[in-house]
Structure 1
Amino acid sequence: MDTGTHFVMGIALGGLATLDPIVADNALTAQAVMLGTIIGSQAPDIDTILKLRNNAIYIRNHRGITHSIPAVLLWPILITGFLYSIFSSSNLLHLWLWTFFAVFLHMFVDIFNAYGTQAIRPISSKWVAFGIINTFDPFIFGIHVAGLILWGFGFPPGYTFLTIYFVLIIYYIARFREQRFIKAAVKKAIPAATKIILSPTMRYHRWKVAVIAEKHYYVARAENGNVTILDTFDRIPLPDSEILHAAKHDKNLAAFLSFSPIYRFEIAEFDEFFEVRFIDLRYRSNGFYPFVAVVHLDHDFQIKNSYTGWIFSEDKLRKKLKLIPL
C-alpha cells in the first residue's frame, strides 16, 4: 500500500486498541500504543531510502528483507524498546502486542498488491503477490478517513474501526472474486494464454492485463468484465548475441530482469553505440510502456551508461542517460 494508507491504518489501529482494557485504562499506555501503531505501520517501508542510491538497488531490495519473517519479529522489538524508554510506566507487553500487530498488518496488506513482497524470506526468496488491490485503493483509504472523522465526532474508535475492518474483510473477498472472474474472461478472450498477469487499478472494475502465450505476448484492458486487446507482440526468445550478453552484466538491466516477468526487448545500432532496451508489458499507460531498462554500449561492447525505472517520454530518458539528442 501507499504511505498515506499505511499512516491512516496506523492511527486506526491505535483507535482499535482502545478495545484492549489495559490500553483503555492507562493513558500512558494508550499514548505509547498509538505511537507504536503509527511507527509500526510505516517502519517496513524504510527501504524506500534506497531510491537515494539508485533505482537498481531499490528495485532489487524494496519490500525484500524489510518485509520478511525476521523483520516482522525484529521491527516490533526495536520500536517497543524505543517507546518504552520514553513511556517507561506503560504496559510493555501490550505495547509490544499492538506494535507487532501494526507491523504484521503492514506486511500482510502489501502481499495483496501486484508488486508483492518477499514475505516468506528466508524460507524462500519468492515474491508473494496476490494482485487484487492497487497500491492506492480509494475505498480502503476512504473508509479509514471516514472512521477517523467519525472518531473526531465522538464515535467510539474501537467499535468504529472493528466495524470498518469487518467491512474490509468482505471487500478483500469481493476483490478475489472479481479477479477470478476477470481471469476467466481473459482466458475466454485469449484461449492460447498460458500465464495471465492482472494488475488492479484505482477503479474497481478496471484491470490491466498482460498475457503470455506460446507465440505471443498480449496486453489488454479488462473493464466491467469486457476484455479489450490493446497490443500484441511476437514472443521472440533472447538471441545469442554478444551485445546482449555484455548488456546483461549491467546492474540496471539485471535489476529489471529480476523484477519483470513479462517484457519485450529491442536492440538498435547507432553511429556511436548500441542500445539494448527491455520494456515491461504490465504497465501500459495511454499507449506508452513507462517501465524500462536501457543499456548503451560502445562498439567494443563496453557499457557506457544505463537506466532502469519509470519514464514517460523519450526526452526524459535521454536526460537520464545523459544522451545528446539523436
Structure 2
Amino acid sequence: MDTGTHVVMGIAVGSIATLDPVVANDPLLAQTIMLGALIGSQAPDFDTVLKLRNNAKYIRNHRGITHSIPAVVLWPILITAALAFFIPGVNLLHLWAWTFSAVILHVFVDIFNAYGTQALYPFKKKWIALGVIYIFDPFIFIGHIVAIIFWQIGFHQGFTFLTLYFVLIFYYVWRFYARNKVYKLAMQEHPDATHVFISPSFKWRRWHVVIRTKDMMYVAQAEKDQIKYHESYPFEPIPNIPIINAAKKDENLSAFLSFSPSYRWEIVDEGDHQEVRFIDLRYRSKGHYPFVAIVKIDNNHNILSSYTGWIYNQDTLKKKLEFATE
C-alpha cells in the first residue's frame, strides 16, 4: 500500500489497542503504543532509502528482506527497545504485542497488491502478489479518515476502528470475487492460456490483464464483465544469443527480470550501438508502457549504459541513458 494508507492503518492499530484493558487503564502506555504502531506501520518500507542508490537496487530489494519473516520478528523488538529507552516504565509485553500487530498488518496488506512481497522468506523466495487491491485504494484510505473523524467527534476510539476492519474484511472478500470473475472470463476466451496476469486499477471495476498462451501475449482491460483488447504480440522466449546474454549481465535488466512476470523484448539497431529493450506489459497507461529496462550495447557487446524504471517519454529515456553508467 501507499505510505498514507500505512500511516492511517498505524493509527487504527493504536486505536484498537485501547480495547486492551491494560492499555485502557494506562494513558502513557496507550500513547506509547500509538507511537509504536505508527512507527511499526512504516518500518518495513524503510528500504525505500535504496532508491537513493539506484532503481535496480530498489526494484530488486523493495518489499524483500524488510518484509520477510525475520524482519517481521525483528522490527517490533527494535521499536519496543527504542521506545522503552526514551519512555521507561511502560509495559513492554503489551507495547511489543501491538507494535508487532502494526508490522504484521503492513506486510499482510502488501501481499494483496500486484507488486507483492517476499513475506515467506527465507522459507520461500517467491514473491507473493495476489493482485486484488490497488496500491492506493480510495475506499480503504477514506474509510480510515472517516473513522478518525468519528473518533474525534466522540465515538469510542477502539470500537470505531474495529467496526471499520470488519467492513474491510467483507471488502477484501468482494475484491477477490471480482478478480476471480476476471480470471474465469479470460480463461473462457483463452482456454489455452498458460498464464493470466491480473492487476487492479484505481477504478474498482477496471482490471489490467495480460494473457499468455504458447504463441501469443494479449494486453487487455477487463471491465463490466467484458475484456477489451489493446495489443497482441507473439510470445517469444528470451533467446540465447550473444547480445541478449551480454545485456542480461547488466544490473538494471537483471533487476527488471527478477520483478516482472510479463514482458516483451526487442533489439533496436541505432547504428553505432544497439539497444536491448524489455517492456513490462502490466502497466499500460494511455497507450504507453512506462515500466522498462533498456541496455545500450556497442557492436562488440560491451555495455555502454542502462536504465530501468518508469519512463513516460522518449526524451526522458535518452537523458537517463546518457547519464547512466554500467
For Structure 1 versus Structure 2, the TM-score category normalised by the shorter chain is: over 0.9
Aligned to 2:88: 88
1:310 paired to 2:310: yes
1:250–1:295: 8 Å Cα contact kept in structure 2? yes
Q: Give 3-state SS (helix, strand or coil) of 2:41's partner.
A: helix
Separation in 2, partners of 1:246, 1:165:
50
Partner in structure 2 of residue 115 of structure 1: 115
Q: Distance in 2 between matches of 1:146 and 1:189?
A: 41
Give 3-state SS (helix, strand or coil) of 2:140's partner. helix
Q: Which has the higher mean CA deviation after the structures are superposed, 220-229 or 72-81?
A: 220-229
Aligned pairs for 1:182-201 within 5 A: 182-201=182-201
Tell me what 1:210 maps to.
Answer: 210
Deviations, residues 42-83 of structure 1 (Å, cap 9, x unaligned): 000000010000010111100000000001100000000001
What is the Cα deviation at residue 86 of structure 1?
1.6
- In structure 2, the residue matched to 1:243 is 243
- In 2, Cα distance between equivalents of 1:180 and 1:30: 41
- Match for residue 24 of structure 1? 24
**Correspondence for 1:156:** 156
DSSP-derived class of the 2:194 partner: strand
Take 2:269 and 2:319, find their aligned partners in 1: how far apart are those partners? 19
Q: Does 1:175 align with 2:175?
A: yes
Q: Following TM superposition, by how much is the alpha carbon of 1:239 offset from its aligned partner in structure 2, in angstroms? A: 2.6
Paired residues for 1:1-326 under 5 Å: 1-322=1-322
C-alpha displacement of 1:191: 3.0
* 1:108 Cα deviation from its structure 2 partner: 0.5
Is the contact made by 1:29 and 1:87 (CA closer than 8 Å) also made in structure 2?
Answer: no
1:275 & 1:313 partners in 2: Cα distance?
16
Q: Specify the code of the residue in structure 2 equivalent to 1:224.
A: K
| Percent identical | 57
Residue 187 (structure 1) shift: 1.5
> What root-mean-square deviation, in Å, do the aligned CA atoms of Structure 1 and Structure 2 show?
0.9
Q: What is the identity, as a one-letter code, of the residue corresponding to 1:198?
A: I
Displacement after TM superposition at 1:211 (Å): 0.9
Q: Residue 39 of structure 2: SS of its match in structure 1?
A: helix
**CA contact 1:268–1:276 (8 Å) conserved in 2:** yes
Structure 2 CA distance, aligned partners of 1:20 and 1:236?
A: 57
Unaligned runs of 5+ in 1: none
Using the alignment, how far apart are the partners of 1:239 and 1:93 within structure 2?
56
* CA distances 1:13-69 after superposition (whole Å, capped 9, x unpaired): 111111111111111101110000000000000000100000101111000000000
- The alignment covers a number of residue pairs equal to 323
Q: Is the 8 A contact 1:65 1:118 kept in 2?
A: yes
Q: Given residue 25 of structure 1, which amino acid in structure 2 is its aligned partner?
A: N
Query: CA separation in 2, counterparts of 1:228 and 1:193?
Result: 17
Q: Separation in 2 of the partners of 1:189 and 1:290?
A: 27
Distance in 1 between the 2:229 and 2:276 partners? 27
Question: CA–CA distance in 1 between the matches of 2:200 and 2:240?
Answer: 36
Q: State the shift of 1:243 in Å.
A: 1.0
SS of 2:322's partner is coil
TM-score, reference length from structure 1: 0.97
Cα distance in 2, alignment partners of residues 35 and 43 from structure 1 = 12
Look up the equivalent residue of 1:303 and give its one-letter code: I
Deviation of 1:189 after TM superposition, in Å, equals: 2.6
Alpha-carbon distance in 1 for matches of 2:178, 2:195: 18
Q: Secondary structure at the match of 1:321?
A: helix
Q: Distance in 1 between matches of 2:92 and 2:236?
A: 59
1:260 offset after TM fit, Å? 0.8
Q: Which runs of 5+ in 2 are unaligned?
A: none
Task: Note if contact 1:28-1:89 (Cα within 8 Å) is conserved in structure 2.
Answer: no
